[in-house]
Amino acid sequence: MMKLLSPLNYLRIEHEEKRWYDYKIPVIVGLIVMVVYYFNPNKIPLVGTSGLLVQVNGLLQVLIGFYIAALAAVSTFSNATIDEVMAGDAPTIVEKYRGTKLKVELTRRRFVCYLFGYLALTSFILFCLGLVSILAGKSVSLTISTMTSPELLWVFKTIFVGVYAVILINVITTTLLGLYFLSVRFHQSSL
């Protein structure tokens, strides 16, 4: 089971700047989206042909393939500079080697492989979450609204939108970081 979730090891990589992309920006934007969604008088549909989840899932279908292709390209790319430890304050990850935990500085290749593996898995999970919500969302909403009040249903929807937004913004910021590495950093010497 852990092998299937191993791309999530990207979150174990330590670097001060990376915390912004992984956690701080997604949580801040997710909270803003939650507040706007909750107080917006024009209710944004989540499911249905013009719903938010259908639109995002269309994008995710394309992105998942891109992430897997980028991972394959980076894994096989022949350039000696990407196999050097990253310059400056290199990101690190703690790995177990022969029973001992070691803090390892990452090369550009390893960092970007972790990054695109993480993006592929996270996007797939987000796609599945969206798909289940599209297929079961209306019946779940109907069940909740008959068992509780419409206000409580709105709170549940708002929390769902917030969590979904945090994951989606994380995918967006991490994608932008990956594009930076593919388009700029791979082609520079160790700076």
Share of the chain above pLDDT 70, in %: 96
pLDDT at 35: 95
Q: What is the pLDDT of residue 191?
A: 53
pLDDT single digits (tens) 18-73: 999 999 999 999 999 999 999 998 888 888 788 899 999 999 999 999 999 999 99
Band (148; pLDDT cuts 50, 70, 90): confident
Which whole number is the average pLDDT over 102-119? 94
**Residues 90-105, mean pLDDT to the nearest whole number:** 92
pLDDT band, very low/low/confident/very high, at 187 (cuts 50, 70, 90)? low
Domains of the chain, by residue range, sit at 9-187
Query: What percentage of the chain carries pLDDT values higher than 90?
Result: 63
At 92, give phi and psi (nearest 5°). -130, 160
The model carries a pTM of 0.90
pLDDT band at 81 (very low <50, low <70, confident <90, very high): confident
Query: Of how many residues is the chain composed?
Result: 191
Cβ atoms < 10 Å from Cβ of 160: 18
pLDDT number for residue 146: 84
User: Token pair 């790995």 is at which residue?
Assistant: 95
79 pLDDT more than 80: no
* Residue that is written with structure tokens 């092998």 in the block: 3
Residue whose C-alpha is closest to residue 114's, from 28, 184, 1, 21:
21
183 vs 8 pLDDT, higher one: 8
- Pairing type for strands 100-105 and 92-97 reads antiparallel
Radius of gyration from C-alpha coordinates of the chain: 20
- State the burial class of residue 142 (Cβ atoms within 10 Å of its Cβ: 0-12, 13-18, 19+): exposed
